[in-house]
Structure formats: structure tokens, C-alpha cells
């Protein structure tokens, strides 16, 4: 199996090391990852600046660090490492959850998304920590992935779809199992905060506190992880609200096209 690995925490991140250790047991691994943290870059790509691709010493593997974002890394990897294509793209293991709406911001998820766009089986993996400074428990993620590798990487594929996996950051023995589920909601309050620098000049800092009530989100990744389950969510790149196409078409006075269902 030919495997390309990336992330958004940077090539030196401990989660990358955990992912490489597992994947190396099952195939030929090559690594292309950002040269620094690129969290919350979403599915962006570098268009107007050159990409610098530098070899990186990674336990004897072919590996490169790139001054770009995860999407750049996937495309560089498919050009430099696997010009004839690969069988699997893995992105992670991320330090922090990628649940619900957060997948739209996540560079980790974007790496898997780019794999799906290229027609390659892809999986994003994250350790769901919710307290700043709390242990990430990468060993839990490593052990879970090792145990579930075969089933996770041989599930029936659907075009333009990838898997988003969130593993609770707890001891491995405390995991309660796996739930295949849909996306929940993670909404932030006080997202943009006004501040002043030491010279009294105003600026704004974006972040905010997550407002998340698992009890109101049954059957979602948010609920699963909060209850100690690993969440596995199949994510489709087709964001069309097909249930609304016909109604919208009637309102606009135009028939729906044949590709609307």
C-alpha cells in the first residue's frame, strides 16, 4: 500500500510521529507536511507565492517539509513522492478535535479533503482534547488506529467522500467503542475580542469559547466523543442541499437540472 501522510500541526508534531509509526506497519509511507503549524487554514492553497520543498530527516522515510498549507502538501506529495498516485492519504493525528462545523476551518480535514478530490481514499484523524494543556494521549490514538487499521482502510469507498475520525483524548482502556455518526455543531461565543497593545493601539483577537451541549446533539460526533466513543464520520464533498433544489427552482421560475437529485 502506498501511503502519503500530512497534517496541519507541522512535520515535527508528535501526532505525526504516532501516525507514521502505525502506517509504516501497513505500507510504504512518504511524508509531506508544513514546516510549521498551519491550524485553522481550512481548504486553502498557495497560489501567488512559491512553494519551497525541503527534504526532512524522518526515520529513514522519504519526507519533505513545505512552506505551505496541507492542501499544498498533498499536491506536492502527489507530484514529488507519488507521481503515479497512491492508495491512501492520511492527515493528522491532530492536536485537538475536528468536530461538527470545525471541519470547515480545519487544515487537518483539508488534507483528507484534497485526497478525496484527487480520487484517493483519505482519512483525517484528531485527538479530541477540550482543555488547553491537557494531555493529547497520542498513544491512545496510535493504539486505536493500529487495532482498527484494516477495517478503517478497507471500508467500501464512495466517490468524493472521506472519513473524519475523532478519538477522545483519554486512556486507551477508557474508550467505550466506535460510533459512525453525522456532524454535530460547535459554535463559538465572544468570537472576536477587542484589545489594545502596550501603546494603546486597538486590535482584535479571534478565538472565542465553544458553546457545545452534547445532550442536544444525539447521534452526532459531538455526542459520541463526549461520551468516550471514537467518532467516524463520512464526509461528502458535494454540499448541494438536494432537498431544497426543487423548491428553489420553482421559486426562481426555472426547472431543476437532471443532476439535482
Q: How far apart are the first and last CA of the chain?
A: 35
Reported as a pLDDT band with limits 50, 70 and 90, residue 14 is very high
**For the whole prediction, is pTM greater than 0.85?**
yes
Domains, the chain: 2-184+214-252 (3.40.1210.10)
Task: Return the pLDDT at 210.
Answer: 65
pLDDT the model gives residue 216: 72
Average pLDDT of every residue of the chain: 93
Q: What is the pLDDT of residue 132?
A: 73
Q: How confident is the model at residue 191 (pLDDT cuts 50, 70, 90)?
A: confident
Quickly state the pLDDT bin for 206 (edges 50, 70, 90). confident
Residue 51 has pLDDT above 60, yes or no: yes
pLDDT at 75 (0 to 100) = 98
Whether the per-residue pLDDT at 249 is higher than 60: the answer is yes
Measured CA to CA, the distance from residue 207 to residue 192 in angstroms comes to 6
Q: Specify the pairing of strand 28-34 against strand 62-66.
A: parallel
- For the cut 90, the answer to whether the pLDDT of residue 120 exceeds it is yes
Label residue 56 by pLDDT band (50, 70, 90): very high
Decide if pLDDT at 190 tops 90. Answer: no
Mean pLDDT of 36-60: 96
Confidence (pLDDT) at 207: 73
**Mean pLDDT value of segment 2-19:** 98
User: What is the C-alpha separation between 195 and 75, in angstroms, rounded?
Assistant: 38
User: Which residue would you say has higher pLDDT here, 221 or 258?
Assistant: 221
Predicted confidence band of residue 89 (pLDDT cuts 50, 70, 90): very high
**Alpha-carbon distance 6 to 80, whole Å?**
14
Average pLDDT in the 148-166 region? Answer: 96
The arithmetic mean of pLDDT across residues 249-257, rounded, is 84
Amino acid at each position: 500500500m502506498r501511503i502519503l501522510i500530512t497534517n496541519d500541526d507541522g512535520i515535527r508534531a508528535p501526532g505525526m510521529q504516532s501516525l507514521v509509526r502505525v502506517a509504516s506497519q501497513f505500507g510504504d509511507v512518504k511524508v509531506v507536511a508544513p514546516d510549521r503549524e498551519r491550524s485553522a487554514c481550512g481548504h486553502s492553497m498557495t497560489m501567488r507565492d512559491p512553494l519551497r520543498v525541503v527534504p526532512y530527516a524522518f526515520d529513514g522515510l522519504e519526507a519533505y517539509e513545505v512552506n505551505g498549507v496541507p492542501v499544498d502538501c498533498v499536491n506536492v506529495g502527489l507530484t514529488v513522492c507519488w507521481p503515479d498516485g497512491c492508495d491512501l492519504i492520511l492527515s493528522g493525528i491532530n492536536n485537538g478535535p475536528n468536530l461538527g462545523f470545525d471541519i470547515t476551518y480545519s487544515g487537518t480535514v483539508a488534507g483528507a479533503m484534497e485526497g478525496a478530490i484527487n480520487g484517493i481514499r483519505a482519512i483525517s484523524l484528531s485527538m479530541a482534547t477540550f482543555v488547553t494543556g491537557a494531555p493529547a494521549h497520542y498513544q491512545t490514538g496510535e493504539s486505536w488506529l493500529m487495532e482498527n487499521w484494516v477495517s478503517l482502510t478497507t471500508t467500501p469507498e464512495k466517490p468524493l467522500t472521506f472519513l473524519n475520525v475523532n478519538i477522545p483524548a483519554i486512556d486507551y482502556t477508557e474508550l467505550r467503542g466506535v460510533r459512525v455518526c453525522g456532524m454535530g455543531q460547535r459554535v463559538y461565543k465572544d468570537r472576536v475580542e477587542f484589545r489594545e497593545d502596550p501603546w494603546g493601539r486597538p486590535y482584535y483577537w479571534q478565538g472565542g469559547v465553544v458553546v457545545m451541549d452534547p445532550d442536544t446533539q444525539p447521534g452526532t460526533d459531538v455526542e459520541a466523543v463526549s461520551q468516550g466513543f471514537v467518532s467516524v464520520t463520512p464526509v461528502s464533498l458535494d454540499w448541494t442541499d438536494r432537498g431544497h433544489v426543487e423548491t428553489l427552482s420553482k421559486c426562481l421560475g426555472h426547472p431543476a437540472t437532471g443532476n439535482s437529485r
